[in-house]
Structure 1
Amino acid sequence: MRIGILQTGDAPKDLLAEHGDYPEMFARLLDGYGFEFRTWRVVDLQFPMDEEQADGWLITGSRHGVYEDHAFLPPLEALIRDAYAAHVPMVGICFGHQIIAKALGGRVEKFAGGWSVGATPYRFDDETLTLNAWHQDQVVEAPAGAERLATSDFCTNAALIYDDRALTIQAHPEFPDRFIDGLIRTRGEGVVPDPLLQQARARLGQPNDSDRIADRIAEFFLQPR
Structure 2
Amino acid sequence: MKPAAPMKIAVLETGRPPARLGGRHPGYGLMVERLVGPGHAYETYRADAGALPALGAHAGYLITGSPAGVYDPDPWIADLLAFLRGLSPDRKVVGICFGHQVMAQAWGGQVVKSDRGWGLGLHRYDVVRRAPFMDDAEAIRVPVSHQDQVVALPPGAEILAASAFTPHAVLRYRDRAALSCQCHPEFEPDFARALTDGHRAALDDPALVTAALASLDAPHDSARVGGWIRRFLEDA
- Structure 1 outlier segments of 4+, above 4 Å: 189-192
Q: 1:83-102 maps to which residues of 2 (within 5 A)?
A: 83=87, 85-102=88-105
Q: State the match for 1:141 in structure 2.
A: 152
- AA of the residue aligned to 1:108: V
- AA of the residue aligned to 1:72: W
Q: 1:1-225 maps to which residues of 2 (within 5 A)?
A: 1-15=7-21, 17-32=23-38, 34-50=39-55, 52-83=56-87, 85-125=88-128, 126-163=137-174, 165-188=177-200, 190-191=202-203, 193-224=205-236
Q: Percent same amino acid at aligned positions?
A: 38
Structure 1 residue 206, shift from structure 2 partner: 1.0
Whether the aligned pair in 2 keeps the contact of 1:115 and 1:192 (CA below 8 Å) is no
Change (3 A) 1:39 1:188: same
1:155-207 CA-to-partner distances (Å, cap 9, x unmatched) read 11001000351101000000122112211235435456211100011112211
- Take 1:123 and 1:9, find their aligned partners in 2: how far apart are those partners? 28
Tell me the SS of whatever aligns to 1:72. helix
Tell me the SS of whatever aligns to 1:171. coil
Whether the aligned pair in 2 keeps the contact of 1:124 and 1:150 (CA below 8 Å) is yes
TM-score, length-normalised on structure 2? 0.89
- Take 1:120 and 1:167, find their aligned partners in 2: how far apart are those partners? 19
1:71-92 CA-to-partner distances (Å, cap 9, x unmatched) read 1012111111122x34111000
- Take 1:61 and 1:162, find their aligned partners in 2: how far apart are those partners? 19
1:32-80 CA-to-partner distances (Å, cap 9, x unmatched) read 4x12211010100011122x11110011100000011111012111111
- Take 2:216 and 2:104, find their aligned partners in 1: how far apart are those partners? 30
- Take 1:36 and 1:208, find their aligned partners in 2: how far apart are those partners? 28
RMSD between superposed Cα atoms in Å: 1.5
Larger helix percent: 1
- AA of the residue aligned to 2:28: Y
Unaligned runs of 5+ in 1: none
